[in-house]
Amino acid sequence: MSIFAGMKIIENCPLYSRNTFGMDVKADCLAEWSSPDELRTLLGTVERPYLLVGGGSNLLFTADFKGTILHSTIDSIDIVRETQDSVLVRVGAGVVWDDFVAYSVLNGWWGVENLSAIPGEVGASAVQNIGAYGVEAKDVIETVQTICLDNGKSRDFSNAECRYAYRQSIFKNELKGQYAVTYVQFRLSRVAQPRLGYGALEAQVNKLGGPTLANIRQAVIEIREGKLPDPKVLGNAGSFFMNPVIPAAQFDELKSRYPDIPSYPAQDGMIKVPAGWLIEQAGWKGRSLGPAAVYDKQALVLLNKGGATGADVIRLADTIIADVRQKFGIILSTEVNYI
């Protein structure tokens, strides 16, 4: 291992503790930086290809990584501008996402409380457009600050330029792997704006005494803990599949055959159907395929029961996708990235 100022370079780096699936793989090199200038220095030092990684909570490694993993350790949270009604805060890409949520709640800033207990780091939140309980990161992101990996130049992306959609951004598509996020600027509200459109969340918040920031955060944490396994105990990456969005006509046909099918409105008159429900109806909840399994409390979650490889998990995922397609005519897409 080599350390230069805030930079750390580890050759032949084990990744077991750096991915929440607990895959026992290695990278040729892992390089960490604590400022944009340090990243620029690294880009002239370490070998390609590069893989940008946050907390490793949305990755499935299928083999050793032949290249350099780049990880930001920028951990600052700074107020850029504030008014009586709102605050613009700049957060380092290496800040643990839930630490940022906790900090926001503590300071009375509304906007990210529904996203409590989501694993990962702030930089990845802007790439993945993380979301839960009716809120997405795009709802509060104002600017994403980046460094181009080809030339080391800074570039700021406005919310519109990020081309956000459900679990999508320009960084996952047209510009995939081309820019490293250094900071994300969030516009949060000082005025109470509870988002309780999901019945389970509203009921839990009411049990705790009503829609305060602290109660909403606590309710989300309690709900998530009740249905998501601790990756330190069972390797997983949280929700493995995205909820499919289908045309209203297709949903109406499914509704005629499955009256209990749950749904939520999506953009442009489309309908979002919970992938977990589809997987459960296809008979996969709680079942295993070798050392990989579907969690018995939440069918969206695939598990490494111990000793599973990336290929084992992909075999399970592909089998589920095939069965859901055969039963419902819906093709599930993975939220987890295969590396």
Of the listed 40, 155, 163, 167, which one is catalytic? 167
Q: How far is CA 102 from CA 23, 77, 105, 221, 334, in A?
A: 29, 12, 5, 11, 28
Is residue 158 part of the annotated active site? The answer reads no
Burial of 319 (0-12, 13-18, 19+ CB in 10 A): middle
Residue in 159, 142, 158, 152 with CA at minimum distance from that of residue 178: 152
What angle separates helix 199-208 from helix 213-227, to the nearest 10 degrees? 120
Residues linked to residue 143 through DSSP beta bridges, in sequence order: 158, 185
Is residue 187 part of the annotated active site? The answer reads no
Of the listed 32, 121, 136, 335, which one is catalytic? 335
Is residue 81 part of the annotated active site? The answer reads no
Tell me if 257 sits within 8 A of 41, measured CB to CB.
no
Of the listed 72, 116, 125, 239, which one is catalytic? 239
Lookup result for tokens 């209990």: 260
Q: How far is CA 142 from CA 145, 147, 158, 183, 235, in A?
A: 10, 17, 6, 11, 33
Q: Tell me the catalytic residues.
A: 167, 239, 335
